Structure 1
């Protein structure tokens, strides 16, 4: 556990390193608006969650989880109506290129944890799919399954695209290398018989895609995220886009061939002026390196599922309502971290 009443030092999860005490105290105290005398009674830990672009879902969800599991020095105790996070833990969501970048960051040590699509997590662990030329990432572990995320295939209304086959010859953003979206887009286009040389691939993320769609520099873009997505909402509000359905026998075959996909639907009303749209979905998982201390992962897992944090999850983001203890183990094919497994065993969710 992260202890109170210990000398102050700056502690990165997995690595403890000493800084100059006075400057650290001054910075932390000024940021948290607590007296120095109060902060020196508590060990302080910093923890990064790799997310995605600021216009996607990973960033607000990662930031939300950070607020749930954080409990900075000077916070009111949980029993007094204050933070029910890990004492002394300060968590930040860090923008990245997405799933693959987060997995690499967790494995390489530049991130403590990250959010990633279930298909990318499993591919990394088994050394298959996009990771087929790499050794299986056997140090990758999961803390929890979080929520479903839908494949958004966004098209400009004036581009004359009403089905996937009409994407041939168009300018399409598959997102940046290092994103799970890019791999999903390539698989879908291939499944529908569209070869890489039959469209112009534009390597930009959703933030950049918004401006390019408005300027008619882009005809379509893929984005995998839990709805509502800021980038899609902004464009829908202008009335210039539609969502292209991903359905029929080809979509069903994708699901049959790849168990981490499921048939899904983006409901009417999520985006202004856009009807209910059939699509595919994967799940978001919270991943970590196996070498992170068991007690630290146990603490953050327990904090995430603390009953008093339910109100923060339910009101922090639409997808926060889907982050529930009863579905925390759904669709997980990669091993749990020992600290997370300990928590789920204690709560009767793992029987053997």
Structure 2
């Protein structure tokens, strides 16, 4: 005898528990289905990493620190679902301000040039009033930052000594260029009285001020090519000024955070020759309080995507993994960074 469709449908609603057959209504089946979905969602949520939010202090919008922080965050945020790290950047006045803010706990990481790292860690120079911050830790090195002196052609400035008696922008308090300019002025025995006028413009404003004949020159510690210097070169005739001489040599020989550097020619309109100068290196700095696991993942993400980072800004083209792994850092390595570099054989004596 054929089985009716109605009877077959009802048999499907029977469940065997032991030897008993229990009939489940539609409402009960729907409730069980919902419970299973909730349990599945709960398990997925418990398996996902707890979100951690990090902020990187950078610099002015037209400099290289801001895109450097942005590049790091873009790479780290690619893995936010798997790793739970959400990264963002904050525009700041630069190195000194970054390290002070990092010390106050208002940001999680900071990009800073080598001389300010040294002084912040040891409580010297502009950081004397704040005291040594022994909680600072190096994560990895970034780009080189030649100290760049840009003068208008009409100013007649051809050497660093020609800045005396001129209108010079020495940078904002808290900026890296202000720090290096102060060191050079001390080495030469100069004070602000040696200039016709001293200005404290931001990197957003100094190019326009140069071309508008408000200043004769500005100084800038920056990776090249830099947007604001291109802006100046496109707006008026400029000249890159070499920073050399006995005082500069003495400064380099007595401070290991300074290096001799060269700005390649043909990078800016009207400047075909290489320019010799002094310089520092930018690094990513963290507090030792930040989780070693988080720093490990951040370093791993960046180094495994270094090719992508090199394409994010012209100043990053020359980044090399071997130089980014600090071999003799001015500030001790963070445990998380040390773990990654040790695993990959990038620390001296551990390959």
- Does TM, normalized by the shorter one, top 0.5? yes
Can you give the 5+ residue segments of structure 1 that lack an aligned partner in the other structure? 1-37, 75-85
User: Do structure 1's residue 265 and structure 2's residue 258 form an aligned pair?
Assistant: no
Task: Tell me what 1:283 maps to.
Answer: 281
The DSSP-based 3-state class of the residue aligned with 1:63 is: helix
> Deviation of residue 46 (structure 1)?
2.3
Q: Within 5 A, what are the aligned runs for 1:100-115?
A: 100-115=96-111
Q: Is the 8 A contact 2:152 2:236 kept in 1?
A: no
Question: How many Å separate the matches in 1 of 2:223 and 2:331?
Answer: 21
Q: Which runs of 4+ in 1 moved over 4 A?
A: 38-42
Task: Tell me what 1:69 maps to.
Answer: 76
Q: Deviations over 1:185-212 (max 9, x none)?
A: 1111332343221112211111111221
Task: Report the count of equivalent residues.
Answer: 302
Flag the 1:144–1:47 CA change in 2: closer, same or farther, 3 A: same
Question: How many Å separate the matches in 1 of 2:49 and 2:179?
Answer: 44
Q: Is the 8 A contact 1:165 1:192 kept in 2?
A: no
Task: Tell me what 2:167 maps to.
Answer: 171
Flag the 1:238–1:105 CA change in 2: closer, same or farther, 3 A: same
| Among candidates 249, 253, 258, match of residue 256 of structure 1 | 253
Tell which structure's C-alpha radius of gyration is larger.
2
* Coordinate RMSD, CA, aligned: 2.0
> Deviation of residue 169 (structure 1)?
2.2
Task: Tell me what 1:50 maps to.
Answer: 57
User: Do structure 1's residue 136 and structure 2's residue 143 form an aligned pair?
Assistant: no
Q: Deviations over 1:154-192 (max 9, x none)?
A: 111111212222212222111111112101011113323
> Deviation of residue 50 (structure 1)?
0.8
TM-score between both structures, scaled by the size of structure 2 = 0.81
Question: How many Å separate the matches in 1 of 2:200 and 2:298?
Answer: 35
| Among candidates 194, 211, 216, match of residue 190 of structure 2 | 194
Task: Tell me what 2:301 maps to.
Answer: 303
User: Do structure 1's residue 230 and structure 2's residue 217 form an aligned pair?
Assistant: no
Flag the 1:214–1:272 CA change in 2: closer, same or farther, 3 A: same
Task: Tell me what 1:78 maps to.
Answer: none
Q: Is the 8 A contact 1:175 1:222 kept in 2?
A: yes
Question: How many Å separate the matches in 1 of 2:321 and 2:80?
Answer: 27
The DSSP-based 3-state class of the residue aligned with 2:98 is: helix
Q: Is the 8 A contact 1:71 1:88 kept in 2?
A: no
User: Do structure 1's residue 146 and structure 2's residue 142 form an aligned pair?
Assistant: yes
> Deviation of residue 335 (structure 1)?
0.7
User: Do structure 1's residue 126 and structure 2's residue 133 form an aligned pair?
Assistant: no
Can you give the 5+ residue segments of structure 2 that lack an aligned partner in the other structure? 1-43
Question: How many Å separate the matches in 2 of 1:164 and 1:294?
Answer: 44
> Deviation of residue 321 (structure 1)?
2.8
Deviates more, 1:316-325 or 1:148-157: 316-325
Q: Deviations over 1:102-147 (max 9, x none)?
A: 1112111111101000111011111122223332110111101112
TM-score between both structures, scaled by the size of structure 1 = 0.81
